[in-house]
Amino acid sequence: MQSPAGIYGAVQAFMLNELWRADLKQLSSPLRWAYKAIRFLFVLVREVSQGQLTLRAMSLVYTTLLSIVPLLAVSFSVLKAFGVHNQIEPLLYNLVAPLGEQGDEIVLKLLDFVENMKVGVLGSLGLALLLYTVVSLIQKVEVSFNHVWRAKSSRSISRRFSDYLSVIMVGPVLVFSAMGLTASMMNSGVMQSVMDIEPFGSLLVLTSRLLPLLLVILAFTFAYVFVPNTRVQFTSALVGGLVGGTLWQASGLAFAEFAAGSTKYAAIYSGFAILIMFMIWLYVSWLILLVGAQVAFYHQYPERIRLSDQRVPLSGRFREQLTLLVIFQIARSFVNKAPPLTIDKLADTLQVPPDRVAEAIELLASRDLLVETSSEPPEYLVARDPATLTMAQLLRSIRSPNEEQALMECRVTSVEAIDSLLVGIDDAVGAQLGERTLRDCVAAEQPAS
């Protein structure tokens, strides 16, 4: 019989070698799916164990504690205008249900704070600070999602207020209206008559019991589609929502058992025990939301499921090629009077991850070769007529250092042989390219008429 140390060594060797070396195309269908699932779980556990998701979840807990009362105040004010503000209390009870009686006490305290907050007497500055506090919470969520999705930038300030406030003000109305409509339909005479007919009655009862889970999955899916500042496919967001929503419901049952058996914490922390349990549940909820986002990311980009989580470094030649391809595609759209291109469209055209395209865009923009439009999502145009930009100038601009790189180059102790070699390479490239412009390259790729 093999010893535990031998079993551990065999498992470790499989996880770090055989799992990634196997050619999935040569495996049978069940074994192929098993390998894919194990690889997926491997990278998911690695993401959590590295600590970035846990750190961001803890940061969101702190932001939530600061923003929850203003958030509820804004939502309560909007819902009150539509006459559905009374439905916010049952929703809060459901969110903190795993805390048991302690959760009921927290909800009562929160609602007491909200009712005592007089939004009308805050004044312009107070109202602005209230809205900023609410927006900052969603901004923190966006930054965390952008980290998961490798998005290079966040929304602009104007977009934050327009996008976030529209969701904060319109979202609750739509959610509670849908919940109210569902409840009315379930209690209607027609539905009651249908429930008396089997198997429709059993199916409706099962659906009503699964409705909370379905609403959580839809909420997670919506967050994964809307919050990241990048394009997220609905299918991938739905997969992340299924995993995240199911984990959240399951962890709620487990946390309820934990909370019920944690009476000793009250003896240790006294009145702070409720707050501590609430913070732990917030942490678990945020962590599950981020894990679901990570699942959606890997579903959309399965090529990122690999043994090493380090980004594959680009060779100097491929970096130049990618940058030239990006400005070539943008120039071709300009010459052909086609709509400007976004990062996602460029990524689809070039079959390159969006974050790599964003790096090329950033390089070209820093050299004043591209300009960004104010549309949403941002589109990109050439900063000058392609007929006036020679390929030699373009290549020289891409290769030229920025201020920090130039400062480093000045400090390097070089030798004359290397300097003359580099100058000779530049002269040879310039002589080869001649006066060929970017428009000439675009015209060379046009189909013959």
Domains by residue range for the chain, with CATH: 4-49 (no CATH), 52-304 (no CATH), 316-444 (1.10.10.10)
- What is residue 1's predicted lDDT score, i.e. its pLDDT? 55
Under DSSP, the state recorded for 233 is -
CA-to-CA separations, 408 to 33, 129, 360, 402, in angstroms, rounded: 50, 43, 22, 10
Say whether the peptide bond before residue 199 is cis (omega within 30 degrees of 0). yes
Nearest alpha carbon to residue 72 among 95, 97, 99: 95
3-class SS of residue 207: helix
The predicted pLDDT at position 294 comes to 94
Q: How far apart are CA 316 and CA 399, in angstroms?
A: 10
Taking only Cα atoms into account, the Rg of the chain, rounded to an integer number of angstroms, comes to: 28
pTM as predicted: 0.73
pLDDT in tens, the chain (449 residues): 556 767 777 777 777 777 888 777 788 888 888 888 888 888 888 888 888 899 999 999 988 888 877 777 777 776 666 665 566 667 676 777 777 777 777 777 777 766 666 655 555 666 677 777 777 888 888 889 988 988 877 777 777 777 776 666 665 655 555 555 555 555 555 555 655 566 655 665 566 667 778 878 888 898 898 888 888 899 999 999 999 989 988 888 887 777 666 666 555 555 667 778 888 888 999 999 999 999 999 999 888 888 776 666 778 888 889 999 999 999 999 999 899 999 888 988 998 888 888 889 988 988 889 998 877 778 899 998 899 989 988 988 888 887 777 778 788 888 889 888 988 888 888 888 888 899 989 888 766 54
Secondary structure (DSSP) of 368-428:
TSEEE-SSSS--EEESS-GGG-BHHHHHHHHHS--HHHHHHHHHS---HHHHHHHHHHHHH
How far is 129 from 135, CA to CA, in rounded Å? Answer: 10
With 0-12 CB in 10 A as exposed, 13-18 as middle and 19+ as buried, what is 249? middle
pLDDT at 330: 93
| Separation CA 94–CA 90 (nearest Å) | 6
> How many CB atoms are closer than 10 A to CB 110?
17
